[in-house]
Structure 1
Amino acid sequence: MGLKNVEDLKALLKNAGRPRDYPSHGAKVHSVDWNCDGRRLASGSFDKSVCVFILDRDRLIKDHTFRGHSDSVDQLTWHPSHGDQLATASGDKTVRLWDARAQKLVATLPTKGENINISWSPNGQTIAVGNKEDLVSFIDVRQRKIVRDEQFRFEVNEITWNRENNLFFMTSGSGHIVVLSYPSLEVQHDIVAHPANCICIEFDPTGRHFAVGSADALLSVWDAQQLMCRHTVSRLDWPVRTLSFSHDGELLAAASEDLLIDISAVSSGERVTTVPVQAATYTVAWHPSRYVLAFACDDKDERDRDAGTVKLWGVPE
């Protein structure tokens, strides 16, 4: 499948309008994520809660708030094919599994440290969670227990699997991408990707590419099969904190402390459009079937606070 040209993509987004705000929490939102069918959006917050929204055409309606974590909810992820199953990682040294349809807690899994990142394997069988001490734990979803802990001697930032589920990727504080075989977890590649800390990593839904955001303010796009860098984007001025590919793998959203979200064409890295924001943006997520972007910003300032708000931008149906 060929990638669209930039003019086609610009035409698709020309009617996107301005972002709309949806109050959700009493403090900063750390993470937003769509479920697999795009009917629900979840947000995790510093206020220790998880909000679940229903998407009704082009607007969000708050459905439920999950409470139970005793510390900040730093990252969350939905099951890749079951739209009701949600997992959350918290600084309270637990991972929690929730049922969004039944609106209940399913399981609380104790971990060995303060959790900062989480990823659900594409086959749905395993959840990986990383903590502040660079320990990555692998949870068997059916057994609802940790089946393996791996301690790393380098700073582990974000973690994820490739779409084939046979490689496990980690971004590191040394600017490397470390690629392990899965499930054996043997090092296959140690890629020097950036001259500074590699912060975030994201695979596109088609499996063709992955992208890495770095503290050097660069965004790199890679061929997922050959593990070769296709191009870099250098338009942002601050460390790239968050990334998301559109459902068709055509667009890549990237954000940081810059007062905009940069949206580029995956084929070339050329800018397609920008979404203006009024504060640093640390989480973005494209809808799984539409050109609709969810995101959340940091506080604006002491007088005009924007804490706890989820934002939606994109093309209305």
Structure 2
Amino acid sequence: MSNQTTRYLSRTTAPKYFSDVQIRAFHDPNTRHHPGSHSGTILRTVAWNNLGSRVATGGAGGNVKIWNPEKADVRSSTDLKGTGLQVTERVQWDPTHAERLASCGVGDSGVVKFWDYRTAKATQDIKTGGDNFSLSYHPEAYVVAVGRKDNKVKLLDLRQNAVFHTIDEGNDPAFQTVFSHNGTLLLQTHASGKVVLRAFPSLEIVHTFSAHTAGCYCLDLSPSGRYVATGGNDALISLWDTTDWVCVRTFDKADHPIRSVSFSFDGAFLVAGSDESMPLDIAHVDTGDYVHEIKTGYPAHAVAWHPSKYVIAYTGEVLRVTGIGSFT
């Protein structure tokens, strides 16, 4: 993918490093615009597997595709067919297995499908009973939390192949639900702008804080667990210390609502995506400085850093992957 070494970037070396960035587009000639879809956000979700050897995307038409980031040729990709979905809202890889992943979205009674991309077949499916838009694996991969569009969060047990618990969020929808790295917390972003922390497996609320003045759409945990970054309708990214749950700083360069946010593998940098057209700004976490801007000219709804490299995958009409130097 790139010729980057394993050395870590500092605040001072990052601008020069990222200025050499190359961007590769992964075109699927079979993808077409679909009625009711945003022309710039056909792909709604992107995720790396735990080795960084594959990238999964999904979006309008219910498509799920697995790409080899080393090979932009569509012949090197794998289609996961038969999702039964009108729109795939979220794909997520099994954190314990580099070839397994899950997908969910709108349609087919809220079916969540679990796949082995090597066979391009579903190995399991669980119906939640409604349209879904968020999905998160427990770190041990036996439980998955799925957010429905009717303000309910379903907890799925893969061993029992069934829903085992429902959280009713009432009039305050949860936009994203994420397990902590050790699996003892379930973090939820809400339409009210707050973040709710629930103990797992009891699911009792242990802490709540107001992260944004409007809807809090997304969050990501730093690899060390030291910080949580949240993005909201107020176009801000807020950085929270997980020891005292205080806001350390905010990043305010964006002009549009933040729909996704992602930490680099070393926790040193942040990048965010939006449904509106704006550059991808790479921010240095500890100083709050912006170190590089990736010009897009289109909406990049979903962004994700590679699990071990300074490489970013992001979506729009097509998947794009950045890299330093050569991709070969």
Global fold match (TM > 0.5) = yes
TM-fit CA distance, 1:60:
6.6
TM-fit CA distance, 1:23:
1.4
How far, CA to CA, are the matches of 1:202 and 1:259 in structure 2?
20
Q: Is the 8 A contact 2:25 2:72 kept in 1?
A: no
Q: Which residue pairs with 1:304 in the alignment? A: none
Letter in 2 for 1:156: A
Q: Which residue pairs with 1:282 in the alignment? A: 301
TM-fit CA distance, 1:59:
5.0
Q: Is the 8 A contact 1:34 1:40 kept in 2?
A: yes
Match status 1:128 vs 2:145? yes
2:12 counterpart SS class: helix
Q: Residue 161 of structure 2 is aligned with which of 119, 124, 144?
A: 144
Q: Is the 8 A contact 1:231 1:268 kept in 2?
A: no
Match status 1:79 vs 2:121? no
1:35-54 superposed Cα distances (whole Å, 9 cap, x missing partner): 00011100012111100011
Q: Residue 253 of structure 1 is aligned with which of 271, 277, 285?
A: 271
Identity %: 29
- Counterparts of 1:8-87 in structure 2 under 5 Å? 8-17=13-22, 19-24=23-28, 25-27=31-33, 28-56=42-70, 62-70=76-84, 71-87=86-102
Structure 1: gaps (5+ residues): 298-306
Match status 1:267 vs 2:281? no
Q: Which residue pairs with 2:314 in the alignment? A: 295
Letter in 2 for 1:26: R
- Counterparts of 1:116-265 in structure 2 under 5 Å? 116-153=133-170, 154-256=172-274, 257-265=276-284
- What's the RMSD between the two structures over aligned residues? 1.6
Q: Is the 8 A contact 2:254 2:278 kept in 1?
A: no
Q: Is the 8 A contact 1:78 1:85 kept in 2?
A: yes
TM-fit CA distance, 1:267:
0.9
TM-fit CA distance, 1:12:
3.0
How far, CA to CA, are the matches of 2:321 and 2:73 in structure 1?
8
| TM-score where L is the length of structure 2 | 0.88
How many residue pairs end up in the alignment? Answer: 303
- Counterparts of 1:78-117 in structure 2 under 5 Å? 78-92=93-107, 93-117=110-134
Q: Is the 8 A contact 2:194 2:210 kept in 1?
A: yes
TM-fit CA distance, 1:150:
1.4
Q: Is the 8 A contact 2:81 2:120 kept in 1?
A: no
TM-fit CA distance, 1:164:
1.8
TM-fit CA distance, 1:5:
3.8
1:7 counterpart SS class: coil
Q: Is the 8 A contact 1:218 1:233 kept in 2?
A: yes
TM-fit CA distance, 1:9:
2.1
| TM-score where L is the length of structure 1 | 0.91
How far, CA to CA, are the matches of 2:139 and 2:32 in structure 1?
32
Q: Is the 8 A contact 2:80 2:117 kept in 1?
A: no
How far, CA to CA, are the matches of 2:140 and 2:16 in structure 1?
35
How far, CA to CA, are the matches of 1:126 and 1:133 in structure 2?
21
How far, CA to CA, are the matches of 1:205 and 1:123 in structure 2?
16
1:184-208 superposed Cα distances (whole Å, 9 cap, x missing partner): 0111111011111111111122222
1:6 counterpart SS class: coil
